[in-house]
Amino acid sequence: MFYLVELEDYVRVEPKLFGLPTLEAVEQQLKETYADYYSRELGKVVCVVEVTSVGEGILIPGDGAAYYISNFKLLTWKPVLQELVFGEISEITNFGAFINMGVMRGMIHISQTMDDYVSFSKSDALIGKSTKRTLKVGDLCLARIVAISHKGNEPKFSLTMRQPGLGKLEWIKEEKLKKEKEAKKAAKAEKQSKGGKKK
């Protein structure tokens, strides 16, 4: 889920940025600091939205940088259990698929890719035994976050596509059309049975 976060912190501005106006230097430093930043509390920082205020700078003996108390806004993405995510399959392996969610990557275990017995093919695709559905690199999918692990340097996300309304976009479209046809057929049958009873 995306959040707009407002923070107040001392920003350490490196000497290489001293030639810029203070606000610009602080903004540039924040962009460098939060370029690949992730924390359990904030999530993944997407971008620095704006610096709203910059206070007086202070110098610390022995450190060539300047520190400015600053207020700023960040756009972050923090994963939430059961959240629906949209993404593109970026890698297929013999144990599942990796999905690029734009901000980060998640993993779909082979058993969670579809409601079928799934095997890994020589053509780097996952194939359903009875449905013959295939999942390959570049496919657009809708999945749900079912587990989040914060062990190690980067978080890991486990996803599922085995619930109704999830999976490859083509599969979702097929299911919708199938349900619409069944509903029309049922309505037609009901109409005919009512018409027969009146006679």
Classify domain 2-77 by CATH number. 3.30.1490.120
- Amino acid at site 158: S
Tens digit of each residue's pLDDT (9 = 90 or more) over 151-198: 877 789 999 999 989 999 999 998 899 888 988 888 888 888 876 555
pTM of the predicted model, to two decimals? 0.77
Contact 87, 141 (CB under 8 A): yes
Pick the CATH number of 84-172 from 3.40.50.10710, 2.40.50.140, 2.40.160.40, 3.90.1170.50: 2.40.50.140
Mean pLDDT of 7-22: 93
User: If pLDDT is split at 50, 70 and 90, which confidence band does 199 have?
Assistant: very low
Domain ranges of the chain: 2-77, 84-172
What is the Cα–Cα distance from 60 to 58, expressed in whole angstroms? 7
The pLDDT of residue 197: 56
Judge whether 2-77 and 84-172 match in fold: no
List the strands of the sheet with 134-135, edge to edge. 118-120, 126-128, 134-135
Q: In 40-154, which ranges are E strands? A: 43-59, 66-77, 84-93, 96-100, 105-109, 118-120, 126-128, 134-135, 140-149
Q: What is the DSSP annotation of 126-187?
A: EEETTT--EE-TT-EEEEEEEEEE--SSS-EEEEE--STT-EEHHHHHHHHHHHHHHHHHHH
Mean pLDDT of 44-63: 92
